[in-house]
């Protein structure tokens, strides 16, 4: 399957949806959105646009159920707009000045405008979903909208936990999984679930697609946590052990803290000096956190692939889904 | 018509919608939303809840078309949740520490949480709209959602203009009206428009309802601008001439600036000292701004009432709508 064609169609649909703001009186508002989407301004281009994984998964799910992905394009645009709405607000909430190598929206136009840019991306996502009414019965539009909206509520829940629990030393693994499910799993599940619905799949097949998206998200996140501590800088593009420096309460760290061993002792003393990060990563591994996290990521990967097999995506789209899943889940450490 | 019953039903439906976040793991997130809605925390009570004008207008529009307002309750909750989403984000954007006499969400829980609270209120509004599917055909849900979503895009447009043009001295009256239409007119129009749709009204009657809501909003805003400069503190609860102190680019000020007379001269020197505010208001009136604004507000009020007459709302709900319109539009100066 020629994914390039899908990428072009996704970008085209996204531009069309965002263009609703391209009136003369709100032209510079439109500019803020097109900047964030990676189409205009300094550093614009493919690198700045992100990987568009969510719309791709949605369209492949539709095509994998034997339907044309063309009709599902507005939904693909919707999930990508929601992802980007959450990124714009996230960057304010985290105080991140850079994303994909460029200044974030709030860093360029200030917090008040950035809040409004995020809000507008969310509204445009809602409008994109409603555009499905041009090619699907109203019942299907309502069902798709329900799937996506439920994922959005989970996003805000996950964001709440991230901002209010993640800074505390006493969160447990249960909270970690709820947080990851909200921030990463829910929207990916909505992509494959919604895609299958728009592909005309029956309920049990839709559920298999949904489960694939959710576990893909969880597995990816667990891997990301491992790479954030023991990853190879040259492969991930992140500096090694950044997560320990940032005191991110990732899966291995939470496991390590629960062990109350030497790593926990070091962590509880406060920020770890850069020179001791390597040693901290070793202590954490000695406490079994590396093994545990790899085992969790492996189990989630198995579940994701098992769900994908149960979903039986058809033809070239199906092949492309397995390839994509393998590419996302078998990243180099 | 017993409006008390409507108010109780609105509050009940709002609580039901917000309760989606009331799980143990997000309990304190739920608390932030219920605080903002005026139900919990310091100063909770009717005063803190606001006037619930939007859901009231929506339900009266439905009932005024001869339908039971009960079925339209989720839509009523949706418009109020959207209004409150915009207030929570507005307060961050304006740096307002107080609303309805209480600390704003960001002032209590910080900007990152307040952004997320606004986002969640918006998501809950979307979910409320989808709840209409329990009692309306899917086509009507999609139509209602489209009306409300279009209003939301106008809200973000209006907010953009407010933040980026209102601080400049050179905006003209055309921008003023576009801004007011976005920030105030669009959602009120969606309330009466959506309400009439849910009441089963035909297209021309729906248009009359829509027009009533829009002009009610514009007229109210024009009056608010007059009261903000020449109002009576005891009646409005705002201190006299506050808008001149705040350098708000309201309708009279924009008219005054366009006259390039003595008021414009004073204004362009920079902030007006409190002692000179009374004199500034006099100069502005001498330039004809008070007359102009009163004439504009009067014309918009006439159009609003004319549209309401064309909408022919039935029975007790119709009477209540005329009473409400008169109460909102004939406030004491």
pLDDT digits (tens, 9 = 90+) for A119-165: 999 999 999 999 999 999 999 999 999 999 999 999 999 999 999 98
CB A131 within 8 A of CB A193: no
The dihedral through the CA atoms of A124, A125, A128, A133 has a sign that is negative
Touching check for B116 and chain A: CB below 8 Å? Answer: yes
Angle at B60 between CA B59 and CA B61, to 5 degrees: 90
- In angstroms, what separates the C-alpha of A193 from chain B's closest C-alpha? 18
DSSP-assigned states of every residue in B3-24: HHHHHHHHHHHHHHHHGGG-SG
Q: β-strands B102-103, A102-103: how paired?
A: unpaired
Contact list in B for residue A28 (CB cut-off 8 A) is 164
How far apart are alpha carbons A259 and A309 in whole angstroms? 36
Indicate the Cα dihedral angle B189, B192, B193, B194, nearest 10°: 120
- In angstroms, what separates the C-alpha of B126 from chain A's closest C-alpha? 7
- With CA atoms as reference, the chain A residue closest to B88 would be A115
Local structure of residue B39 (DSSP, 8 states): S
Q: Which two tokens stand for residue A27?
A: 């032209």
Q: What is the pTM of this model?
A: 0.95
Residue A50's pLDDT band (boundaries 50, 70, 90)? very high
Closest CA to B182 of B203, B151, B223, B146: B151
* Run of H or E including B102: strand B102-103
Among B23, B123, B165, B174, the strongest candidate for a mutation testing the A interface, having the largest count of A CBs within 10 A, is B123
Average pLDDT of chain A is: 93
CB A79 within 8 A of CB A55: yes
Q: Residue A249 has what pLDDT?
A: 83
Give chain A as a 3 state SS string.
CCHHHHHHHHHHHHHHHHHHHCCHHHHHHHHHHHHHCCCCCCCCCHHHHCCCHHHHHHHHHHHHCCCCCHHHHHHHHHHHHHHHHHHHHHHHHHCCCEECCEECHHHHHCHHHHHHHHHHHHHHHHHHHHHHHHCCCHHHHHHHHHHHHHHHHHHHHHHHHHHHCCCCCCCCHHHHHHHHHHHHHHHHHHHHHHHHHHCCCCHHHHHHHHHHHHHHHHHHHHHHHHHHHHCCHHHHCCCCCHHHHCCCCCHHHHHHHHHCCHHHHHHHCCCCCHHHHHHHHHHHHHCCHHHHHHHHHHHHHHHHHHHHHHHCCCHHHHHHHHHHHHHHHCCCC
**How far is Cα of residue A186 from the mean position of the Cα atoms in its chain?**
9
* Run of H or E including B156: helix B138-164
Touching check for A53 and chain B: CB below 8 Å? Answer: no
- With CA atoms as reference, the chain A residue closest to B124 would be A153
- With CA atoms as reference, the chain B residue closest to A112 would be B93
Touching check for B82 and chain A: CB below 8 Å? Answer: no
**How far is Cα of residue A181 from the mean position of the Cα atoms in its chain?**
10
Which residues, in sequence order, are CB contacts of A68 under 8 Å at separation 6+?
Answer: A62
Residues of chain B with pLDDT under 70: 166-170, 232-241, 331-333
Q: State ipTM.
A: 0.94
Touching check for A173 and chain B: CB below 8 Å? Answer: no
Angle at A127 between CA A20 and CA B129, to 5 degrees: 145
CB spacing of A130 vs B145 below 8 angstroms: yes
Touching check for B149 and chain A: CB below 8 Å? Answer: yes
CA neighbours closer than 13 Å in the CB half-sphere of residue B166? 21
Contact list in A for residue B158 (CB cut-off 8 A) is none
Phi, psi of A181, rounded to the nearest 5 degrees: -60, -40
Model confidence pLDDT, tens digit, residues A206-254:
999 999 999 999 999 999 999 999 986 555 555 555 788 888 889 999 9
Touching check for B317 and chain A: CB below 8 Å? Answer: no
Closest CA to B122 of A116, A214, A141, A79: A116
Q: Which two tokens stand for residue B23?
A: 């799980």
CB B330 within 8 A of CB B302: no
Residue A288 has pLDDT above 70, yes or no: yes
Contact list in A for residue B138 (CB cut-off 8 A) is 137-139, 141-142
Closest CA to A327 of A216, A252, A243: A216
Q: Which two tokens stand for residue B231?
A: 């109002």
How far apart are alpha carbons A291 and A136 in whole angstroms? 47
Contact list in B for residue A92 (CB cut-off 8 A) is 111-112, 115
Among A137, A138, A186, A197, the strongest candidate for a mutation testing the B interface, having the largest count of B CBs within 10 A, is A138
Residue among A92, A127, A133 whose CB faces B153 most closely: A127
CA neighbours closer than 13 Å in the CB half-sphere of residue A95? 3
**End-to-end CA distance of chain B, in Å?**
28
Neighbours of B203 (CB within 10 A): 9
Residues 27-46 of A with CB under 8 A from B: 28-29
CB B209 within 8 A of CB B188: no
Model confidence pLDDT, tens digit, residues B50-106:
999 999 999 999 999 999 999 999 999 999 999 999 999 999 999 999 999 999 999
- In angstroms, what separates the C-alpha of A137 from chain B's closest C-alpha? 8
CB B290 within 8 A of CB B244: no
CB spacing of A130 vs B152 below 8 angstroms: no
Q: Residue A292 has what pLDDT?
A: 96
How far apart are alpha carbons A214 and A7 in whole angstroms? 22
Q: Which residue has the higher pLDDT, A190 or B1?
A: A190
């Amino acid at each position: 399957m020629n994914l390039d064609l899908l990428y072009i169609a996704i970008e085209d649909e996204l531009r069309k949806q965002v263009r609703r703001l391209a009136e003369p009186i709100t032209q510079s508002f439109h500019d803020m959105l097109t900047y964030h989407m990676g189409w205009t301004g300094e550093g614009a281009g493919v690198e700045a646009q992100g990987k568009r994984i969510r719309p791709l998964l949605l369209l492949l799910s539709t095509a994998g159920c034997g339907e044309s992905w063309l009709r599902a394009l507005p939904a693909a645009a919707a999930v990508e707009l929601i992802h980007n709405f959450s990124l714009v607000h996230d960057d304010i909430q985290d105080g991140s000045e850079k994303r994909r190598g460029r200044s974030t929206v709030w860093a360029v136009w200030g917090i008040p405008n950035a809040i409004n840019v995020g809000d507008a991306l969310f509204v445009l996502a809602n409008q994109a979903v409603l555009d499905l009414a041009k090619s699907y019965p109203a019942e299907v539009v309502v069902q798709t909208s329900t799937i996506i909206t439920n994922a959005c509520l989970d996003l805000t829940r996950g964001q709440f936990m991230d901002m209010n629990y993640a800074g505390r030393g006493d969160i447990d693994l249960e909270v970690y999984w709820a947080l990851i499910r909200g921030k990463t799993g829910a929207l990916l599940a909505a992509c494959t679930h919604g895609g299958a619905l728009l592909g005309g799949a029956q309920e049990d097949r839709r559920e298999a697609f949904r489960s694939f998206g959710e576990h893909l998200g969880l597995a990816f996140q667990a891997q990301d946590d491992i790479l954030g501590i023991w990853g190879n800088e040259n492969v991930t593009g992140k500096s090694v052990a950044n997560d320990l420096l940032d005191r991110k309460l990732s899966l291995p760290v939470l496991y390590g803290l629960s062990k109350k061993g030497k790593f926990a002792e070091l962590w509880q003393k406060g920020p770890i000096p850069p020179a001791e990060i390597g040693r901290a990563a070793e202590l954490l591994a000695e406490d079994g956190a590396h093994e545990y996290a790899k085992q969790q990521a492996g189990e989630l990967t198995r579940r994701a692939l098992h769900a994908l097999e149960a979903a039986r995506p058809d033809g070239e789209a199906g092949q492309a889904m397995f390839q994509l899943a393998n590419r996302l889940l078998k990243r180099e450490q």
